[in-house]
Amino acid sequence: MTSRVYIASVDTYSGKSLAALALGLHLREAGHRVGYFKPLGALPVTVRDVTTDEDAYFVSNRLNPDAPLDAICPVLLTPELTQRALREDVAGLKEQIKEGFDRVAADRDVVIIGGLGKLARGSLLGLSGPAIAELLEARVVVLSKFVPDVSVEEVLLARRLLGERFAGVIFNFVAPDDEEAVHGELGQHLERRGIPVLGVLPPDELLSAITVRELMANLPAKLLCCEKGVDELIVHFVIGAMGVASAAKYFRQLADKAVITGGDRADIQLAALQTATKAIVLTGNIYPSAVIVKRAQQLGIPLLLASHDTLATVDRIEEILGQLRVRAATKVQRARALFDKHVDLDRIEGALGLGRIS
């Protein structure tokens, strides 16, 4: 029988796609034929005339590019489907999921099943995380963005909901000050409660980075110059609302940054251009002076024009950063390295009944 593991989470944007990809690459290198399947999707994308889920396509294309496109994500959550669910007119969804899974699982040693949002997502359709794990007879690895006290309670509840299908938890975004507790007393407590702690992942600047292109598309913002720089990665964001002397000193301390400032703050913009800056976000829909544009062009630093004020733009950027998805090759490599170092992948293989194939 094909082994199956469902990657779930107790909170949103906890790194499920990253975990699925890192685990899948590890298992493939161990000699296993790996498949990827996502029962429910919420990001429709059309590929070769087939509508599927964007995350499902990205991960599947990395792990099993020969999988049938129309099978890797059989149910897309749409407003229409939600309305049908309210009218109790959603018969046959479990059969669609089971059929899609069977097609992906053909000739595979293991299938990684990607969850959507929290464990409760899909409940309106009768397709919550626990329900899908039961339907597909999968062991479940739960991801949790670590917050002291809160995360422990959420994981305890997940263990109760999932029962014996629960394989363990991976804590993500664990701050350095919390690592000792998670590896020590807290982790030991969970292990005694039947909750294997499979990994403790630290925050990582590269994985939290965003390209200028992604920032521009999601704000949204208008590119005023320097298209060649839009694939550069932004690691830090700085609000340029202080005096120019303080700003210049602060800007010099941070590389790989984007500076967010009013379009009328030419002094701040010039200070940013004189340091290691990846982009300048000009707020308030105020165009910069010709001097600033010329200097940015000389340095190849993109200028982005945002329509909202600085506060609203910062709020939007925080939303975007909370929803980051792993896409760039450098991020995939970094994610894999982090998993190899901080996750007990051998223990996960053991929970799935898998071993390294020589």
Q: Which two tokens stand for residue 127?
A: 């397709």
d(CA 108, CA 4): 10
Asked if pLDDT for residue 48 goes beyond 60, the answer is yes
Residues 87-112 have a mean pLDDT of: 95
pLDDT tens figures, 168-191: 999 999 999 999 999 999 999 999
Domains of the chain: 3-204+326-351 (3.40.50.300), 210-322 (3.40.1390.20)
Burial of 33-48, coded b for 16+ CB within 10 Å and e otherwise, reads ebbbbbbbbbbebeee
Q: Are 72 and 44 in contact (CB under 8 A)?
A: no
Is residue 286 helix, strand or coil? coil
Asked if pLDDT for residue 327 goes beyond 80, the answer is no
pLDDT tens figures, 255-308: 899 999 999 999 999 999 999 999 999 999 999 999 999 999 999 999 999 999
Provide the pLDDT for residue 286: 95
